Amino acid sequence: VGLGPGTVGALVAVMSAGGVVGAAVATALSRRLGSARALLLCALGAEPFALLIPLTAPGARLGLVVLAGVVIGAGVVAGNVIKAGFRQAYVPHQLLGRVIVTMQVVNLGTMPLGAVLAGALGTALGLRPAMWVLTGGLALTGLILLVGPLRKRRDLPEEPAGPARPGRSELVSAAGR
């Protein structure tokens, strides 16, 4: 849209405020709605705002990318806080490091593939059509959360389902004997 580097930097700084907001509200949102519902809200409520990005143009329409960036940033960061709390409660302590690293490899490892795909689409379709394809895909990603049991739960589970296991208080009292 023909912006200079300083303006782009200022817009990115303003959009980044969404992440701060997301981090600030994640716990309260999770307590009020339940962790599963809050996670659904973060994904399904924020990701469709990506569709504003290809509508950006000089002038007042720069506000569209700012609004999209703030809302998406808030949703992603709040969702990440909720998911991190879930992992810490759900995954056995001795496996937590492995689970986190595996998740990071999958998450961060796919970013270069996404960059190559975006570049190829931009070359083949042009910039705006590629942006529509990619932001349309992002807007739909939260729907995958509706496929499994998450949509029926108030909260994320704190331990795996299965045979009865001793609770934490039982383990502590057994360890003290």
For 25-68, the pLDDT digits (tens) are: 999 999 999 999 999 999 999 999 999 999 999 889 999 999 99
How many independent structural domains does the chain possess? 1
pLDDT digits (tens, 9 = 90+) for 98-151: 999 998 999 899 999 999 999 999 999 999 999 999 999 999 998 988 988 888
Evaluate whether residue 169 is within a structural domain: no
Q: Does residue 157 register a pLDDT over 60?
A: yes
Give the alpha-carbon dihedral of 139, 142, 91, 89, to 10 degrees: 100
Helix ranges restricted to H, 34-126: 35-46, 62-90, 93-109, 111-125
**Domain of 130?**
5-151
What span, in angstroms and rounded, lies between the C-alpha atoms of 135 and 84?
25
Quick one: pLDDT at residue 174? Answer: 47
Quick one: pLDDT at residue 167? Answer: 55
- CB-side neighbour CA atoms (13 Å) of 15: 20
Mean pLDDT lowest among 1-10, 114-123, 156-165: 156-165
Q: Which amino acid is at 16?
A: S
Evaluate whether residue 171 is within a structural domain: no
Best CA proximity match to 72, nearest among 31, 155, 10, 12: 12
Evaluate whether residue 156 is within a structural domain: no
- Count of other CB atoms within 10 angstroms of residue 76: 17
Evaluate whether residue 163 is within a structural domain: no
Best CA proximity match to 81, nearest among 35, 141, 17, 26: 26
Quick one: pLDDT at residue 82? Answer: 95
Evaluate whether residue 173 is within a structural domain: no
Quick one: pLDDT at residue 155? Answer: 92
